[in-house]
Structure 1
Amino acid sequence: MATTVRRTSCNLCEAICGVLVTVDDGRVIDIRGDESDPLSRGHICPKAVALRDLQDDPDRLTTPVRRTPDGWQEIGWAAAYELVVDKLTGIQKEYGRNAVGVYLGNPNVHSLGALTHLPTMMRQLRTRNRFSATSIDQLPHMLASYLLYGHQLMVAVPDIDRTSYLLMLGANPLASNGSMMTAPGFGRRLKELRKRGGKVVVIDPRRTETAAVADEHHFVRPGTDAAFLLALIHQVTEDGHARPAAYVDGFEAVESAVESWTAERAAGITGIGADVIRRIADEFATSDRAAVYGRVGVSTQQFGAVCQWAIQVLNIITGNLDRPGGTMFPRPAVNALLGLGRGHLGVWSSRVRGLPEFGGELPVSTMAEEILTPGDGRIRAMVTVAGNPVLSTPNGRKLDEALDTLDFMVAVDPYINETTRHADVILPPAPPLERDHYDVIFHQLAVRNTARWNDAVLPKPAEARHDWEIFRDLGLAFVRRTSWSRRRIEATARLRMSPRRIVDLGLRIGPYRLSLAKLRKSPGGIDLGPLQPALPGALHHKSKRIDLAQRMILDDLPRLDALATGNDGELLLIGRRHLRNNNSWMHNSARLVKGKPRHQLLMNPEDLAKRDLTDGQLVTVTSTAGSVAVEVAASNDMMPGVVSLPHGFGHNRPGARLTVANQVAGPSANDITDADLTDPVGGTAAVNGVPVTVTAC
């Protein structure tokens, strides 16, 4: 076969970078950035190069396997489907439909086939015990969008290419490439912002890679970001700089609610000086193009909902929402909002703890207890898709134990990992380079409007299955077990439609009236221009108005009064990202895990000295959920009183077949995060700001 160069995209993270893949004799020999891509402009990170590792990984499953007393055995697709459907329907018939639980991992939103076919298949199970990575990640983002703009995925993103003042909290886009903000090549965009005279201010308990290159960085005590944000809102209103648009209601109620949150009060709680808070408020409010952006650090804490609401309020009252250089709403070629419900909160609650659902999903913090607690509605079978919750969700040890008690478990996953080792059947989908791709979700979050379709780089072997084919076949098998109805007809039609056909229809009814044929003629992507003002017409509220005074948020503000000003020697644990990591599922790539160890607990030298600890020493980190042993590393990048442990590690558990990952040192941070520690407004897991003690082993 001749050597060819194919254009595609890296769909391993939210940056959706365009790449050029060189293929020789059916094997990938080179991957590099595509400079013609209008969004990524040639940028890639090390993860893109590792796409070939996913393709060539000898640990990757290529055919279904079944767990037996003698070990894993291969099984045909038809037999695997029959076994799965028989077991799940049998358990639901005996114990009720909620006896089957579902967990969806982060990679599902990076796969076209999962987005087009997984929801329809899951609906056939008719269970309320649905969980996903949303409630350990971006749920407060989506909740704020639902409350203020009428749709859970109507997310305002910084118009960073025109911003002159960018305020970031709990975000490290130099490591994440942007998150809930598709901004590939963020480092270059940051340089361009500063070159045009702009300013970047970062608020974070760690001097991250992004904070290190910002104009200003200020430490903030974990879990107190809400106090800082409320003080900014208070200062803006007190200085007379508030200018909400005519379609905004509830400003007076917000003004009253933040009246007591002065800069001085917030300073005593956050550790950020009152003069700094007043200055930032003034600079932000008087800048002609400003945006405030907060990510995981302000979401995955006990006040995540208040934080994300306050971020939106600050953008709105300063007139920076829906204006160039502020925060704006993308206008993608395929409108993902049409295929995703607006959202709802608290229509039902979890059985054991009574935490509310959001958008049809229960908080993942409740998953283990819903399996372990006896009684009607107990989860007796699980379906996991592209997820490793044993490593990525709170109190992973408890979940590990819970999964071992199930009557049946099926996983759609290419690996036998720390979670799927509990499965009775594993159905492996084809890898990224063997499937077509269109980024339905991340064009919805992009800092520039573009569109790109990519045909598969490599042919799929005849015996392999795409993820959408797995969901189609399972979904149709479930449909055949139900009585004939209009719902059954609709589900059958949806499942039989290919992703290509669905994308083509979405393009044709979209705002640009494109088609799949047109996109395929431009494999490098089509530039559809910068973000454009869209309000109030684009709002999903019937009134076409924004109500700032959301009662569930305002009613939660008194809980902030309990924020402590000191910690009596207690340390607070936060997580951290790394450019070469991708949560828990890219540690089996030797090229990504090589280099200096990055699993250590980072700790300020002052905190080490107070505890008679030394750099490199093995220490025990203990919380209410348990303890882990890990090497400690002295770092002046840490705020005193704060320690940082990356998530996603914790491999080398019995039965997990991950040759490279099992050699990677480091415990799972989620073995010491407490499943009982949540934000009560939406149920988001509070995995940042976890109280811990650190002692010598």
Structure 2
Amino acid sequence: MPTEAPAPPPLTATHCPYCSLQCGMGLRAASGAPGGLEVVPRDFPVNRGALCGKGSSAPALLDPRLRLTEPLIRSAATGRLEPATWDAALALVAARLGAVGEEHGPDAVGVFGGGGLTNEKAYALGKFARVVLKTSTIDYNGRFCMSSAAAAHQRAFGVDRGLPFPLQDVARTGCVILAGSNLAETMPPAVRHLRELRENGGKLIVVDPRRTRTAEQADLHLAPRPGTDLALALGLLHLVVAQGRTDEAFIARRTTGWEAARTAVMAHWPELVEKITGVPVPQLRAAVGLFCDAPDGMVLTARGAEQHATGTDTVGAWINFCLATGRAGRPLSGYGCLTGQGNGQGGREHGQKADQLPGYRKLTDPRARAHVAGVWGVPADSLPGPGPSAYELLDALGGEVRALLVMGSNPVISAPRAAHIEGRLRALDFLAVADVVLSETAELADVVLPVTQWAEETGTMTNLEGRVLLRRAALAPPDGVRGDLSVLNSLAKLLSCEETARKFPADPETVFQELRRASAGGAADYAGISYRRIEAEDGVFWPCPDEDHPGTPRLFLERFATDDGRARFVEVTHRGPEEEPDAEYPLVLTTGRVLAQYQSGAQTRRVPELDAATPGAFVELHPLLAGRIGVADGDAVTVTSRRGHATAPARVTAAIRSDTVFMPFHWPGEGRANNLTNPALDPVSKMPEFKACAVRVERAGPAA
């Protein structure tokens, strides 16, 4: 009799560890595969089986040779990080954090989290900071991601969720304005939704100073000078008003504040906006025509529009544009933000952000404090108040903040004015880092704790749609590696007592059950979401207040989340970037990402196929500029700002404005782009101005 073929190894349904799409994928054991796992595409709504190179190569980083597998302590004798036991490492972290808190006060101990942490870890980290360390000094790298969009969402709609509709709705609307996003390189599987939009007869307008792979797919590409996105949005709304294309019935029925917003926008006439932005008036008129002629429309923003000292007002102007045209609060229309990091949404909803408690509750709200304190079993008046934002926290290191615990972040690369921040980290009395790899920040630490990563742990993530997902463990971590929740449990025991440690369970589902109670009644209400429901329903959209509630894929269809149910227009006017070009620094630098790398590159730079695709930094500049400074493609150039310099090979291309240069920010060393960027902060969101600063570019030498 013929023998039956052996059954394939079991498949673990999970999600990609990288961006906020959180693409569905399957994992199964495979001998000889990188990390011992094979990636199997999975039909999930956001990606429908598609994966980018980062997702398909994700298991490579599970290889113990590429990551941390034992704690490290800096030797007093040699000054080097040397292997240590977990007991010794944890005891040292607890002793030093406790001593600094006792000598200098609890706020001298800081906590810096990450937008890639699961909801459970983000929740536990915020609780640990406020209950065990009793510090207000906690924030996370998500402040550098979509904080401006979050602040504008709150002002206009009363709640912040990246997309108030499922991503699949994008393909069915009539026109999309994509402002400051290069989806083709940052979220490649999402491009299929734009492609389907155009196949369905819809129109795509891309706003970007570079003609990116995404802009090449657009019906209309607007290329403003970096730092002028606010003027562009105001100019388009001016034309809507001047052409009589406002939806007066919608404005009267569902909004407030229109008169003041309209008065402000009328100061931004087309010819003035062309002078500020460099976008010709005919293109401005064409954009308004495409958007207003369509039956439905969406504006989607990302970091290009948001990472400015005017980011909140810029997003507010785009929201005003949607409200004035009636493109909000109804199916297939609205404003949305394309969240960047894998759990940038959930990471701030549940307590890592300096001013928020779980459920998107305000830390200054007495009722919110009482509710969360009740869940945590502590007095409400024991909870500290709001602390400094991410950059303010990092800038205070070595001064007001003397010790720091970092989980899942690499600010040596990702923070603006990076060389200065590296110096502040070196000035600390004590630095502990929990991470998967020995990042550039971990290299500076006194103690490094090796923790589990995506395929070795179970936990929830909240993607850009507000869909709560379950990432499942597919294999055990290497010996010597522990979970972040276990680390917090151990530190709570050492810093406090056994009773306090019981408030920090290491089991993620137990933590999530508590998170549900803590978020109940808040704006981001997870009370009705359980692991069982997530598995059965391919994720559940918040708010979901009870287990009989279906979840909320589409917000605002009946009312906005404000007290009166109406969206709020916000009066905004144009302000330029904090630094304008001058004789010494005549150009504008903008920064961003490339297809093969992710965020600070700490993980992707260690994956051979990704590193080979884009192995280092570069400077993109226009042929006219290259000719002026005598540079050919591949020649080394030095970019200098008021904060520092970076050197990398030139990429000469007509796809960028002649007054602008571009650098990706994934690399350390000479090509560290964030040496240059401006830490000027948005007054509302505290977002640094990554996307526009004045620079000069000079030839550094011939190609290597």
C-alpha distance 667-262 of structure 1, shift in aligned 2 (>3 A): same
Q: Tell me by how many angstroms 1:474 deviates.
A: 2.0
Query: Identity over the aligned pairs, expressed in percent?
Result: 24
The residue correspondences of 1:554-573 to structure 2 (distance < 5 A) are 554=572, 557=573, 559-560=575-576, 570-573=586-589
Relative to structure 1, the CA distance from residue 563 to residue 618 in structure 2 (aligned partners, 3 Å threshold; closer, same or farther) is: closer
Distance 1:366 1:84 in 2: 23
What is the distance in 2 between the residues matched to 1:561 and 1:575?
Answer: 14
AA at the equivalent of 1:72: L
Paired residues of 2:637 and 2:650 also in contact (CA < 8 A): yes
From 214, 217, 231, the equivalent of 2:218 is: 214
| Residue number in structure 2 paired with 1:145 | 153
CA contact (8 A) 1:117 1:472 kept: no
Residue 140 (structure 1) shift: 0.5
Structure 2 partner of 1:201? 205
1:82–1:292 Cα change, 3 Å: same
| Superposition deviation, residue 416 in structure 1 | 2.2
Task: Identify if the C-alpha distance between structure 1 residues 361 and 296 changes in structure 2 by more than 3 Å, giving closer, same or farther.
Answer: farther
Give 2:12's aligned residue: 6
CA distance in 2 between counterparts of 1:513 and 1:329 reads 24
Shift of 1:687: 1.4
Q: How big is the shift at 1:281?
A: 2.0
Q: 600, 603, 606: which is aligned to 2:624? A: 606
Q: Provide the residue aligned with 1:17 in structure 2.
A: 23
User: Helix, strand or coil: the match of 1:31?
Assistant: strand
Asked if the contact 1:300/1:685 (under 8 Å) is kept, the reply is yes
SS, match of residue 614 in structure 1 = coil
- Distance in structure 2 (CA, Å) of the matches to 1:495 and 1:277: 54
Q: Is the 8 A contact 1:135 1:363 kept in 2?
A: yes
Write the distance in 2 (CA, Å) between the matches of 1:230 and 1:319: 16
Matches within 5 A, 1:288-437: 288-327=295-334, 339-343=358-362, 360=386, 362-373=388-399, 378-437=400-459
Bigger shift: residues 264-273 or 145-154:
145-154
Partner of 1:581: 597
CA contact 2:559–2:566 (8 Å) conserved in 1: no
Task: Report the secondary structure of 2:87's partner residue.
Answer: helix
Rounded Cα–Cα distance in structure 1 between residues aligned with 2:577 and 2:95: 53
Picking from 673, 687, 692, the partner of 1:689 is: 692
- Within the candidate set 111, 121, 130, 1:102 is matched to 111
Q: Could you report, residue by residue, the CA deviation over 1:218-261 in whole angstroms, capped at 9, with x for unpaired residues?
A: 21100001001011122222222222442311000100111211
In the other structure, the counterpart of 1:486 is: none
DSSP-derived class of the 1:594 partner: helix
Distance in 1 between residues matched to 2:665 and 2:246, nearest whole Å? 39
Q: CA–CA distance in 2 between the matches of 1:496 and 1:649?
A: 36
Number of the residue aligned with 2:531: 516
Structure 1 residue 37, shift from structure 2 partner: 2.3
Change over 3 Å in CA distance of 1:89–1:152 after alignment to 2: farther
Bigger mean CA deviation after superposition, 118-127 or 194-203:
118-127
Distance 1:230 1:210, change over 3 A: same
Q: Which amino acid aligns with 2:183?
A: P
Q: Cα offset for 1:62?
A: 1.8
* Cα RMSD, aligned residues only: 3.4
How far apart, in 2, do the equivalents of 1:130 and 1:623 lie?
30
2:185 corresponds to which of 144, 150, 175: 175
Contact 2:164–2:555 under 8 Å retained in 1: no
Could you list the runs of 5+ residues in structure 1 that have no partner in the other structure?
178-183, 348-358, 482-488, 652-665
Distance 1:390 1:125 in 2: 24
Cα distance, 1:286 vs structure 2: 3.4
User: Bigger shift: 361-370 or 144-153?
Assistant: 361-370
Deviation at 1:119, TM superposition (A): 1.5
Distance change >3 Å, CA 281–CA 103, structure 1 → 2 = same
Give CA-to-partner distance per residue, 1:345-398, whole Å, 9 cap, x none: 999xxxxxxxxxxx945343334541255xxxx111111111111111111111
Aligned to 2:566: 545
In the TM superposition, what whole-angstrom CA distance separates every residue of 1:183-202 from its partner, at most 9, and x where no partner exists?
Answer: x7212111111111001011
Q: Distance in 1 between matches of 2:467 and 2:102?
A: 47
Q: Which residue of 2 aligns with 1:270?
A: 277
**Does structure 1 retain, via aligned residues, the 8 Å contact 2:129–2:136?**
no
Superposed displacement of residue 153, structure 1: 4.2
* Gapped regions of structure 2 (runs ≥ 5): 1-5, 338-342, 351-357, 367-384, 542-549
Shift of 1:548: 1.6
Letter in 1 for 2:143: S
Residue of structure 2 in register with 1:351 after alignment: none
Q: Secondary structure at the match of 2:427?
A: coil
Deviation at 1:480, TM superposition (A): 2.7
Q: Which moved more, 1:496-505 or 1:580-589?
A: 496-505
Partner of 1:242, secondary structure, is coil
Structure 1 counterpart of 2:340: none
Q: Aligned partners of 1:498 and 1:673: how far apart in 2?
A: 40
Q: Secondary structure at the match of 1:167?
A: strand
Is the 2:297–2:327 Cα contact (8 Å) retained in structure 1? yes
- CA distance 1:564–1:463, change in 2 (3 Å): closer
SS of the residue corresponding to residue 11 of structure 2 reads: strand
Aligned length: 638
Name the structure 2 match of 1:661.
Answer: none
Decide which of 678, 681, 690 is 2:681's aligned counterpart. Answer: 678
Deviations 1:459-497 (A, max 9, x none): 23565311122123223443439xxxxxxx8x7665237
Mapped contact 2:64–2:478 kept (Cα < 8 A) = no
Alpha carbons of structure 1 residues 582 and 560: separation in structure 2 relative to 1, 3 Å: closer
CA shift in 2, pair 1:691/1:569, >3 Å = closer
* Deviates further, 502-511 or 26-35: 502-511
1:150-175 CA-to-partner distances (Å, cap 9, x unmatched) read: 23447545731322100111111111
Aligned pairs for 1:436-515 (under 5 A) are 436-439=458-461, 441-442=462-463, 445-446=464-465, 452-461=469-478, 463-480=480-497, 494-496=503-505, 498-503=507-512, 515=530
Structure 1 length-normalised TM: 0.83
- Rounded to whole Å, the distance in 1 between the matches of 2:577 and 2:92 is 54
Letter in 2 for 1:435: E
Report deviation, 1:328.
6.9
Quick one: distance in 2 between partners of 1:156 and 1:369?
A: 34
CA shift, 1:101, in A, is 2.1
Aligned to 1:633: 651
Q: 1:629 to 1:549 in 2, by over 3 A?
A: closer
Shift in Å, 1:520: 4.4
- Whole-Å separation in 2 of the counterparts to 1:674 and 1:29: 42
- Whether the aligned pair in 2 keeps the contact of 1:305 and 1:679 (CA below 8 Å) is yes
Partner-residue secondary structure (3-state), 1:106: coil
| Counterpart contact for 1:154–1:337, Cα < 8 Å | no
With over 3 angstroms needed to count, the CA separation of the structure-2 counterparts of 1:452 and 1:363, relative to structure 1, is closer
Going from structure 1 to structure 2, the CA distance change for 1:636 and 1:530 (only over 3 Å counts) comes to farther
Counterpart-to-counterpart distance in 2, 1:567 and 1:290: 42
Superposition map of 1:25-64 within 5 A: 28-29=35-36, 31-64=38-71
Q: Which amino acid aligns with 2:175?
A: Y
| Per-residue deviation, residues 69-100 of structure 1 (Å, max 9, x unmatched) | 33323333233222212111111111112212
State the AA in 1 paired with 2:596: R
Report the CA distance between 1:502 and its aligned residue: 4.4
Write the distance in 2 (CA, Å) between the matches of 1:563 and 1:667.
Answer: 22
CA distance in 2, matches of 1:595, 1:329: 31
Deviation at 1:270, TM superposition (A): 0.4
Alignment partner of 1:645: what SS? strand
Q: Distance in 1 between matches of 2:540 and 2:158?
A: 29
Write the letter of the residue equivalent to 1:370.
A
